[in-house]
Amino acid sequence: MLEPLIKWFEENQRPLPWRTSYDPYQVWVSEVMLQQTQVETALPYFERFVREFPSVDALANADEERVLKLWAGLGYYRRAKNLIAAAREIVAKHGGKMPADYETLLQLPGIGQYMAGAILSIAFNKPYPVVDGNVRRVLSRLYGWTEDDPKALWDAARSAVREGEPRLVNQALMELGAKICSFRSPRCLLCPIQTSCAAFKTGMQDKIPPVKKRPAVVHMHLFAVIHRRGSRYLMKPVDGMWEFPMFPELPPGSFNKIGQCRHTITHHRLDVSVFEGQLSAEQQFAWKQVDAVPISSLTQKIWKASRTS
């Protein structure tokens, strides 16, 4: 099974920047970005990020607000904060060199079983398994598993990575899931492991893997207030980012509706009405230039909605 898969990968892999040198720092940054983000979206962010912070050392010495500004738009900002914290720990405890063993990696902020396996296999070519959404789909279909069994999945990934060059095996499984064995319409006729695939043989591709139950969607309506003074705006710091003040109800005062936008964060759907007006500047607010501070995708949408009215 592995030989045709690896041959397919070698011939079809996307030329991604972290695949040129397999520099451990770049592999780590790419994997953190790709945890919640598609490759196409993450690519320009990755390039900007490693241009400005080309090494663990550079990232460890970076100003957190500057790092968050480069991350702005990628979402899940905790990832960027963990990256900085881990970089600082690598400099303080490991001489700035990315650790190459599993237990040490697991001690670093933001690094769990998946991330440690990805760094060790892709950067260091060590036989550690990875199971992400793509690998789960490919292996479940390959073995015809209609029920989720995390232990069986990790065991299957573990034996696969021991059968070939770890860097190639893991990336080939991930790439197959991303490019051929997609969730809705797998392109089985182009698949290099079609003859071994249980789901293909039984026509069960649309039943495998079982769909995970998602939490119910929560709808929320919020009111954002744009309060301007010259080129600065009243903003509030939230977890290292800056946002316009938002309220579940419009505070008393005189406000003018200037826009509307929608945003989804995990299972929360937010409808945001955007108003301009004057707020009493509370202690947690500060006057900021919007393009000089890190802002989230939601704040970007509110900003855009306020300017297109």
Residues identified as active-site: 31
Q: Is 5 in the site for ligand SF4 (CB under 6 A)?
A: no
Nearer to ligand SF4, 192 or 259 (CB): 192
Q: Which is nearer to ligand SF4, 138 or 168 (CB)?
A: 138
Q: Give 116 or 142: the residue with its C-beta nearer to ligand SF4.
A: 142
- Residue 121 in the binding site for ligand SF4 (CB under 6 A): no
Indicate which single residue of 80, 199, 234, 272 sits in contact with ligand SF4 (rule: CB under 6 A).
Answer: 199
**In this chain, which stretch among 36-44, 190-198, 244-252, 270-278 interacts with ligand SF4, using CB under 6 A?**
190-198
Rule CB under 6 A: say whether 181 interacts with ligand SF4.
yes
Stretch that binds ligand SF4, among 11-19, 20-28, 189-197, 247-255 (CB under 6 A): 189-197
* Of the candidate residues 33, 142, 156, 270, the single one contacting ligand SF4 (CB under 6 A): 142
- Tell me the number of residues near ligand SF4 by CB under 6 A: 14
186 binds ligand SF4 (CB under 6 A): yes
For residue 136, state whether it binds ligand SF4 (rule: CB under 6 A): no
Is 193 a residue that touches ligand SF4 (CB under 6 A)? yes
138 binds ligand SF4 (CB under 6 A): yes
Q: Can you tell me which of 130, 180, 226, 298 binds ligand SF4, judged by CB under 6 A?
A: 180
Rounded least distance, CB 212 to ligand SF4, Å: 18
Three-state secondary structure readout of the chain: CHHHHHHHHHHHCCCCCHHHHCCHHHHHHHHHHHCCCCHHHHHHHHHHHHHHCCCHHHHHCCCHHHHHHHHCCCCCCHHHHHHHHHHHHHHHHHCCCCCCCHHHHHCCCCCCHHHHHHHHHHHCCCCCCCCCHHHHHHHHHHHCCCCCCHHHHHHHHHHHHHCCCHHHHHHHHHHHHHHCCCCCCCCHHHCCCHHHCHHHHHCCCCCCCCCCCCCCCEEEEEEEEECEECCEEEEEEECCEEECCEECCCCCCCEEEEEEEEEEECCEEEEEEEEEECCCCCCCCEEECHHHCCCCHHHHHHHHHHHCC
Give yes or no for residue 12 binding ligand SF4 (CB under 6 A).
no
